[in-house]
Amino acid sequence: MSLDENKLMEFMGKVVGDLGAAAAATLVILGDRLGLYKAMADGAGHLPAELAAKTKTNERYVREWLDAQAAGGYVIYDAARKTYALPPEQAFALAEEMGPASAAGAFHVIQAMYAAIPKMEGNFRTGGGIEWGDQHPCLFEGTERFFRASYIGNLIGSWIPALEGVKSKLEKGARVADVGCGLGASAILMAKAFPRSKFFGFDLHAHSIETARRRAAEAGVTNATFDVAGAGDYPGTDYDLVAHFDCLHDMVDPIGAARQVRRTVAKDGTWLIVEPLAGDRPEENHNGVGRLYYAASTMLCVPNSLAHQGVALGAQAGERRLRQVAVEGGGFTRFRRATETPFNLIFEARP
């Protein structure tokens, strides 16, 4: 076998970078869980012993953690003072829990992906799957935190205004079904923004529904309810808006889900579909965002569908296939890309 040594070294450089990122992800999770990032959010320089005392953690571990964070560019080291500081931009992403750039939760999703490796090794051989509810428990909150940042930054101010006539309906008072609602982040945000409307969250995962109910109560939201139900049989009719946030591609039967929306949405209603950013051709997704989404799709999305021999659209389904689901499969007559972000596509379908 003939090798180009320069190309080999270039690739090995990528491998080292990936190994460093994979290893460092464990420390981001610990920093998040132990409150280390939040303790550094003041932007001041911290000595390891001071940070350890502030967070009630062990100084030796904290010192090693800080040097790993500095090596990765997450914190800044002042060699003269021997202090470590978290810049405001990093603090906004890692310590601001309800911010539009909150990123720490995504690392908990990665933890769940690693936890699934033993099961997935067998699934690769048999074609089997893992139901969403059977994944590691850290997945549920991690996913909610990851997507919630985007919803905070875009849902009320950008996505809903991009839908024809929907914002005015919500302001006057509308009925909304949030299908595959998870822990309720999207429904709670909408319920707070549009108090005259009523929101109904549905999800198959009972524990997620329990959490959604609790969080709605904690937020003082009284116009949102949450119940265990599937995408193909959730109750109710004449919804002014039915929404699927980052979940349609996971489903065993997305066409069945589309048909249920068609049955339950009002004649002049709207189906809002939020999906991961993706092009229609694989090569369009061979980039950094696509790399992340394909990995998550392999370990989380496709297994959920294949657990019941579903079609497994995958997180990188793309607009063409989603249009087929809505129009050819679901019977909707209008389908358009309403808007997009660097991470999501937002579609509007009408009966």
Same domain (yes/no): 160, 290: yes
Q: Is 111 in the same domain as 173?
A: yes
Among residues 287, 290, 286, which one has the least CA distance to residue 277?
290
| 39 shares its domain with 135 | no
Are residues 113 and 89 part of one domain?
no
Domain finish residue from 94, 116, 131: 94
Q: Output the pLDDT for position 171.
A: 98
- Burial label for 283, CB within 10 Å (0-12, 13-18, 19+), is exposed
pLDDT tens digits for range 271-308: 999 999 999 999 999 999 999 999 999 999 999 999 99
The SS3 of residue 44 is: coil
The tokens of 296 are what?
């998550």
Torsion angle in degrees (nearest 10) through CA of 272, 277, 280, 281: -170
- pLDDT tens-digit series, residues 24-50: 999 999 999 999 999 999 999 999 999
Here the CATH number for the domain that contains residue 19 is 1.10.10.10
Separation of alpha carbons 325 and 331, rounded Å: 9
Range of the domain at 306: 104-350
pLDDT (average), residues 7-15: 96
Per-residue model confidence (pLDDT) at position 1: 79
Is the per-residue pLDDT at 2 higher than 90? no
For residues 185 and 328, membership in a common domain is answered with: yes
Q: Assess whether 76 and 125 both reside in one domain.
A: no
Write down the pLDDT at residue 287. Answer: 96
- Could you report how far apart the first and last alpha carbons of the chain are, in Å? 59
- Pull the structure tokens for residue 60: 């030796």
Number of domains composing the chain: 2
In the listed set 94, 114, 140, which residue is the last one of a domain according to the structure? 94
pTM of the model: 0.93
